[in-house]
Chains A and B, each alone.
Chain A
Amino acid sequence: MSASAPTAWPDALYDQLRAAGITQFAYVPDAGHKVLIDRALGDPEVHAVPLTTEEEGVAMLAGADLGGARGVLLMQSSGVGNCINLLSLTAGCRFPLLTLVSMRGEFGEGNPWQFPMGQATTKVLEAMGVIVLRAETAAEVTTTVAAALTMAFQSGQAVAVLLTQRLIGAKKF
């Protein structure tokens, strides 16, 4: 891995999402999504939508699809728990869904409050019909997100890409 890769991947990821036609960026702020959020806020061609709770984003992206637009939901793993019942909208209506989940409560976590939801994230998503992919290294981000984009917007699936704590680094306490 090149020395610059750990800081370069978020910018490349934003460009990749834009190249795939994504124009609605719904987010609850998280350090792991800082670059994507800042890029979206600075991009006059997209809607950057801060949410009060992550389930709002599930509904918003369903509305985007009704109108022929593509979006992405950026959230921390804690927020996955807030989405559960509204994922029945995604599953029942077969809405495409792309969400990027920055992980807490796993590899190297120093805050014990984060573990219950972090450890349940994959199970909860899968229980509601969301396909879960993981990116463990900077080199994996582009290929994993490319796969997720195809699965979501070509095949109509609900897909979460977990940006793992090994990738984004554990927060220091």
Chain B
Amino acid sequence: MAKLNKLQVATLPDAVLDRRQAVPALIERPEDFLIVAGLAGTAQELSAMTNESPGVFGLGGAMGAAPMMGLGLALAQPKRRVLVVTGDGELLMNLGALATIALQNPPNLTVICVDNGHYGETGNQDSHTGLGVALDRIAAGAGFPVVHTINTEADLAEGRRLLREGSGLAFILLRVKEGPTHKIKRNLVPHVERDRFRRALLGV
């Protein structure tokens, strides 16, 4: 089978982290945040990490929606810290959202991209990032004031600090190897996802 060529300008080192350890090690206590999780891998692992906490809105479709949902939520809830946790595939589908978010610059929002360089749900095809496209440089170019890339365990501490002590908009690129995520059988009824998130946050 013919293979796509890697970008000749690609400079990223090979990914070494396993997402099953790295994502929990970065986020630590999900209950401290309001979280929008992108479809497939990230929604599965956030559901598994929290046993489906109502503080996590996990997408099951509408690919590309997570970053902008996080912006709307962050603007609506300026006193809460909001995380978008999504994959490289979803982020690539709506790169303009990074520019839109950076222009608004909400201080309570962090976008975490769990970048495994592959479309894990559809047959593990290479994604653009797996072929060398650098989302951290795109985020910086879009205007994110803080961009942090996690390649190794040594980079995790700064990521944790940004989530906990950071007082501004940040983009964290968490580069992981391809491979399985933590999974549980999670709710896939969309309106149940909305209703329980709003009930927990707003009491309605």
Binding site for B on A (CB under 8 A): 23-24, 47, 49-53, 55-69, 71, 85-86, 88-89, 92-95
Contacts of B64 in A (CB 8 A): 55, 59, 85-86
How far does the alpha carbon of A62 sit from the alpha carbon of B70 in the complex, in Å?
9
Contacts of A94 in B (CB 8 A): 190-191, 194
| Minimal beta-carbon separation of A20 from chain B (angstroms) | 16
B131 at the interface (CB under 8 A from A): no
Q: Is the CB–CB distance between B96 and A68 below 8 Å? A: no
Contacts of B69 in A (CB 8 A): 59-60, 62-63, 66
Whether A24 contacts B75 in the complex (CB less than 8 A), given A59-B64, A63-B70, A89-B62, comes out as yes
Contacts of B65 in A (CB 8 A): 55, 58-59, 62, 86, 89
Contacts of A60 in B (CB 8 A): 68-69, 71-72
| Minimal beta-carbon separation of A172 from chain B (angstroms) | 30
Binding site for A on B (CB under 8 A): 34, 36, 57, 59, 61-77, 94, 96-97, 99-100, 103-104, 190-191, 193-194, 197-198, 201-202, 204
Q: Is the CB–CB distance between B72 and A92 below 8 Å? A: no
Contacts of B62 in A (CB 8 A): 59, 85-86, 88-89, 92
How far does the alpha carbon of A59 sit from the alpha carbon of B91 in the complex, in Å?
13
Contacts of A61 in B (CB 8 A): 72
Closest 5 CB pairs of A and B: A63-B72, A67-B76, A52-B96, A92-B190, A69-B76
| Contact pick for B96, options A56, A64, A93, CB 8 Å | A56
Q: Which residue of B lies closest to A46 (CB)?
A: B75
| Minimal beta-carbon separation of A21 from chain B (angstroms) | 12
Q: What are 9 A-B residue pairs whose CB atoms fall within 8 Å in the complex?
A: A23-B76, A51-B100, A52-B99, A55-B65, A63-B72, A66-B73, A67-B73, A67-B77, A89-B62
Interface hub of B75, B94, B201 (most chain A Cβ within 10 A): B75
| Contact pick for A67, options B67, B99, B103, B201, CB 8 Å | B201
Q: Is the CB–CB distance between B99 and A24 below 8 Å? A: no
Contacts of A23 in B (CB 8 A): 75-76
| Minimal beta-carbon separation of A84 from chain B (angstroms) | 11
Q: Which residue of A lies closest to B97 (CB)?
A: A56
How far does the alpha carbon of A51 sit from the alpha carbon of B100 in the complex, in Å?
6
How far does the alpha carbon of A55 sit from the alpha carbon of B57 in the complex, in Å?
19
| Minimal beta-carbon separation of B160 from chain A (angstroms) | 25
Contacts of A62 in B (CB 8 A): 65, 69, 72
Q: Is the CB–CB distance between A66 and B61 below 8 Å? A: no
| Minimal beta-carbon separation of B86 from chain A (angstroms) | 12
Contacts of A49 in B (CB 8 A): 71, 75, 100, 103-104
Whether A64 contacts B201 in the complex (CB less than 8 A), given A49-B104, A85-B63, comes out as no
How far does the alpha carbon of A102 sit from the alpha carbon of B107 in the complex, in Å?
33
| Minimal beta-carbon separation of B185 from chain A (angstroms) | 19
Q: Which residue of A lies closest to B36 (CB)?
A: A63
How far does the alpha carbon of A69 sit from the alpha carbon of B194 in the complex, in Å?
14
Contacts of B201 in A (CB 8 A): 66-68
Q: Which residue of A lies closest to B77 (CB)?
A: A67
| Minimal beta-carbon separation of A79 from chain B (angstroms) | 13
Q: Which residue of A lies closest to B103 (CB)?
A: A50
Contacts of A24 in B (CB 8 A): 72, 75-76
With A23-B76, A63-B72 given, name 15 new contacts (CB 8 A): A53-B94, A55-B94, A56-B97, A59-B66, A59-B67, A60-B69, A62-B69, A63-B74, A65-B194, A66-B76, A67-B77, A68-B198, A89-B65, A93-B194, A94-B190
